[in-house]
């Protein structure tokens, strides 16, 4: 209705415009401009009205419905990466950006790599803490990623001789002879780090951790230590990190995240590195807990459950 009215107006205007011939020449310019202005105003109104009329014809839909009325069900396949693997990638990426190389541990290894090369004397009580599985041939499904330390050291030893450093992280799967419950798994993931150079200090070790966790959690964080004991490091301690805001931290809670220390001279010796000349530090931490805290999961058993209802969430 409105459009027709406007079109009528336009016609009338055009008629009036035709009068231009009857107007004195010197007034024609002003008259023409005036007429054009009016015409444009009407045209604008028509455009608005036409668009409004068109819009009014568009059929609305139910935005809350998953597909159209009488339509076909269409779904993307809910592909997912395992959350532990995604987290390992993230952790490794930060260390790689710092300059660490990556080595994966072998899941079935021997007494030498699991214990002997790490300064665990035979029958030492510290071996008990690892609750290792064993095969009939006395091979060991590794109970910590440290089992790869000796190989990391020997593989990159030549770098030291060229004046460089050994900087390796070891992400991988480990096994402990533990009964499974919501907070315990016999199979879980760790990431180990090893650094050796002519100059390596505990101050650097602490500096790396602060830097790592600040990058990982994307905020500045306090760190603190707690004494620990590992035969393969001397001094040994455990690292605690201020609970980050993303996990509901308010600057008072602490997360116990790593075991670490300066590499014991016997560990360097076992890899053919002179402990008089070179020093190093090493650390290891669990990945499962990082993921559980991140997604507020309350049962570690989900990880190895193979349940799509869990996996599709990631």
Partner 1 sequence: MLVSLNEIKKLVEIPAGVSTDELVKLIGSRLVEVEGTIDLSKKYKGIKIVEVVSAEDIPETHLHLCKINAGTGSEIQVVCGAPNVRTGMLAVWLAPGCVVPQTFGGENFELSVRKLRGYESNGMLAGLDELDLGDDHSGIVEIDPKFAKAGDDFAEKFELKDTILDIENKSLTHRPDTFGLIGFAREVAGILGVKFEEPVEKFGDLEITTTLSPDTLSEYVSDAEKVWVEVEDKNLCPRYTAGVFEVSNTGLESALEGNKYLTLNDVFLAKAGMKKISKIVDATNITMLMTGQPLHAFDYDKFVKVGAKTSSTSQGATGGADEPKIVVRVAKKGEKLTLLDGKEVELVEGNDIVICSNETPVALAGAMGGESTEIDEDTKKVILESATFSLYNERKMQMAHGIFSEAITRFTKGQPMAGTVPALARCASMLLDSPKKIIDFEVSETYNDNDVFVELSLSDINNLLGTKYTISEVKETLENVGFRVETSDDEDLRVKVPEWRTDISIREDVIEEVGRLRGYDNIPLDLPLRPFIGAEKNPMFELKREMRSILSDRIGANEVLTYSFVSKDLQEKVGEDFSDSYEIVNSISPELQCFRQSILPSLIDKMYDNIRALHKDFILYEFNQVTSKKLGLTDEKVPEIENHVALISTGDFYEAKRTLVELGRRLHVEFVLGENNAAEFPYFEKVRSAKVMLDGETVGVVGEIKGRVLRNFKLKNASGFELNLDKIVKMPRKITADLKLSKFPFVERDLTLKVSSEANYEEIKEAVINGLSGISELVYKVNPVSIYQGEDKMTKNISFHVSFASEVKTLESNEISDIMKNIEEKISEVKAEVI
- Residues of span 146-205 touching partner 1 by CB under 8 A: 164-165, 167, 171, 173, 175, 177-180, 186-187, 195, 197, 199-204
Residue 136, interface with partner 1 (CB under 8 A)? Answer: yes
CB closer to partner 1 out of 207 and 218: 207
Residue 249, interface with partner 1 (CB under 8 A)? Answer: no
Q: 3-state DSSP call for residue 171?
A: strand
Shortest distance, position 160 Cβ to partner 1, whole Å: 12
Rounded Cα distance, 267 and 3, in Å: 90
Contact 239, 258 (CB under 8 A): yes
CB closer to partner 1 out of 6 and 100: 100
Residue 116, interface with partner 1 (CB under 8 A)? Answer: no
- Give the orientation angle of helix 25-57 with respect to helix 2-18, to 10 degrees: 170
Rounded Cα distance, 36 and 218, in Å: 61
- Give the orientation angle of helix 83-98 with respect to helix 202-217, to 10 degrees: 130
**Which range, of 45-53, 62-70, 242-250, 304-312, touches partner 1 by CB under 8 A?**
304-312
CB closer to partner 1 out of 34 and 313: 313
CB closer to partner 1 out of 100 and 283: 100
**Given candidates 31, 46, 101, 249, which one binds partner 1 under the rule CB under 8 A?**
101
**Given candidates 56, 125, 277, 296, which one binds partner 1 under the rule CB under 8 A?**
125
Contact 108, 139 (CB under 8 A): yes
CB closer to partner 1 out of 38 and 186: 186
Rounded Cα distance, 273 and 246, in Å: 42
Contact 297, 63 (CB under 8 A): no
What is the DSSP code (8-state) at residue 276?
A: T
End-to-end Cα distance, the chain = 55
233: which 2 tokens? Answer: 């490091």
CB closer to partner 1 out of 6 and 130: 130
Q: Considering CB under 8 A, how many residues would be counted as binding partner 1?
A: 89
Hey, which residues between 31 and 90 contact partner 1 (CB under 8 A)?
76-82, 84-85, 89
**Given candidates 40, 220, 226, 246, which one binds partner 1 under the rule CB under 8 A?**
226
Residues shown for the chain: 314
């Amino acid at each position: 209705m409105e459009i027709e009215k406007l079109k009528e107006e336009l016609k009338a205007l055009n008629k009036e415009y035709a009068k231009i011939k009857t107007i004195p020449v010197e007034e024609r310019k002003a008259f023409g401009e005036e007429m054009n202005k009016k015409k444009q105003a009407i045209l604008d109104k028509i455009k608005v009205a036409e668009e409004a009329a068109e819009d009014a014809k568009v059929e609305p839909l139910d935005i809350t419905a998953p597909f159209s009325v009488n339509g076909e069900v269409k779904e993307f396949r809910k592909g997912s990466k395992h959350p532990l693997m995604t987290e390992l990638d993230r952790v490794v990426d930060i260390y790689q950006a710092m300059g660490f190389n990556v080595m994966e541990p072998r899941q079935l290894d021997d007494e030498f790599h699991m214990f002997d090369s790490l300064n665990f004397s035979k029958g030492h009580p510290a071996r008990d803490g690892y609750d290792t599985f064993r095969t009939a041939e006395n091979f060991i499904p590794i109970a910590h990623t440290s089992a790869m330390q000796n190989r990391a050291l020997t593989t990159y030893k030549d770098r030291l001789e060229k004046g460089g450093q050994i900087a390796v992280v070891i992400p991988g799967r480990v096994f402990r002879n533990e009964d499974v419950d919501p907070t315990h798994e016999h199979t879980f993931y760790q990431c180990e780090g090893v650094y050796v150079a002519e100059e390596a200090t505990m101050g650097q070790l602490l500096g790396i951790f602060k830097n790592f966790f600040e990058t990982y959690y994307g905020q500045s964080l306090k760190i603190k230590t707690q004494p620990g004991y590992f035969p393969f490091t001397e001094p040994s301690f455990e690292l605690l990190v201020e609970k980050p805001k993303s996990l509901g931290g308010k600057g008072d809670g602490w997360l116990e995240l790593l075991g670490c220390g300066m590499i014991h001279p016997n560990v360097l010796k076992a890899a053919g590195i002179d402990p008089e000349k070179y020093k190093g530090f090493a650390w290891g931490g669990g990945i499962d807990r990082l993921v559980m805290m991140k997604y507020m999961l309350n049962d570690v058993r989900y990880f190895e459950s193979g349940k799509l209802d869990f996996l599709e969430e990631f």
